């Protein structure tokens, strides 16, 4: 179940019902806390630390095989760097027939959408998402995708841009984009969108490393037509003609 960026009213009604009706709610502690007002007495709630994704998926499957309805909560959209894929992969390797236990994926508002909405409309033209986390993806592959996205002028949302142990990746990403894009290209640094500690900086490709960036941040790099207008970031769709 995708729980959106972190405000209760940004969760779809279908996802809210799925969480409220489940026998068991499983998730990373922070996200279980966020949906706490939706929980009801009698539900089994299992909140686990951030690194235990596989255990969480396997536990959910085991409980579902016992006949319980299990809601695995996952921030943003559960199918975008989220738990939906992992649960399905784990089911696949256990020889799942695709039907029992029954699976439903409840979409949520992903960080690139929630972040974009807070700064205006930066995703109005072709865009892509790249995660800078090389824990599960070889860094060479990530660099290849950064080059391709920068070269093809995609508006690009960088997920997992920086953690305490991964600090160089965002600087390399900036250097790659500077090879293809103007240093003045608008960049939005959106931290904790729709949460109480939300923090947003509008800056440029040249200066984007001056802003605080961490694991709760999504970095949105504009394309060659993206412009800043006051506190707004706008990527033209083309209605007003090219280059206006």
Applying CB under 6 A, the residues found at the interface with ligand SAH are: 5-6, 74-77, 80-82, 110-111, 114-115, 159-160, 190-195, 215-218
For ligand SAH, the nearest residue by Cβ is 76
Cβ nearer to ligand SAH, comparing 192 with 208: 192
Q: Which residue matches tokens 């279908």?
A: 14
**How is 191-215 classified by DSSP, letter by letter?**
ESTTSTT-EEEEEETTTGGGS---T
> Treating both helix axes as pointing N-terminal to C-terminal, what angle do 169-180 and 139-151 enclose, rounded to 10 degrees?
30
As measured in angstroms, the least distance from the Cβ of 244 to ligand SAH is: 30
Going by their DSSP bridges, the two strands 44-48 and 24-28 should be labelled as parallel
Q: Shortest distance, CB of residue 73 to ligand SAH, whole angstroms?
A: 11
Min CB(196)–ligand SAH separation in Å: 11
Distance between CA 187 and CA 205 in Å, rounded?
A: 6
* Selection from 125, 117, 118 nearest residue 222 by Cα: 125
With respect to ligand SAH, which residue has the nearer C-beta, 31 or 64?
Answer: 31
Residue 23 or 198: which CB sits closer to ligand SAH? Answer: 198
Residue 131 beta carbon to ligand SAH: minimum distance, rounded to whole angstroms: 7
């Amino acid at each position: 179940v995708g729980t959106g960026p972190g405000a209760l009213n940004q969760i779809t009604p279908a996802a809210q019902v799925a969480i409220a009706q489940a026998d068991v709610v499983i998730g990373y502690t922070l996200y279980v806390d966020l949906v706490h007002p939706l929980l009801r007495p009698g539900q089994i709630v299992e909140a686990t630390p951030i690194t235990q994704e596989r255990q969480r998926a396997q536990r959910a499957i085991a409980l579902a095989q016992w006949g319980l309805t299990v809601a695995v909560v996952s921030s943003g959209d559960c199918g975008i760097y989220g738990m939906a894929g992992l649960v399905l992969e784990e089911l696949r390797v256990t020889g799942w027939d695709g039907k029992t236990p029954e699976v439903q994926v409840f979409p949520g508002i992903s960080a690139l959408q929630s972040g974009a909405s807070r700064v205006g409309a930066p995703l109005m033209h072709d865009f892509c998402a790249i995660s800078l986390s090389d824990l599960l993806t070889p860094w060479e592959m990530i660099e290849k995708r950064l080059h391709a996205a920068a070269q093809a002028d995609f508006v690009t949302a960088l997920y997992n841009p920086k953690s305490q142990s991964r600090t160089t990746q965002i600087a390399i990403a900036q250097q790659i984009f500077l090879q293809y894009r103007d240093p003045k290209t608008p960049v939005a640094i959106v931290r904790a969108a729709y949460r109480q500690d939300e923090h947003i900086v509008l800056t440029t490709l040249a200066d984007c490393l001056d802003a605080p960036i961490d694991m709760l941040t999504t970095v949105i790099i504009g394309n060659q037509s993206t412009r800043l207008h006051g506190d707004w970031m706008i990527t033209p769709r083309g209605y007003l003609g090219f280059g206006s």
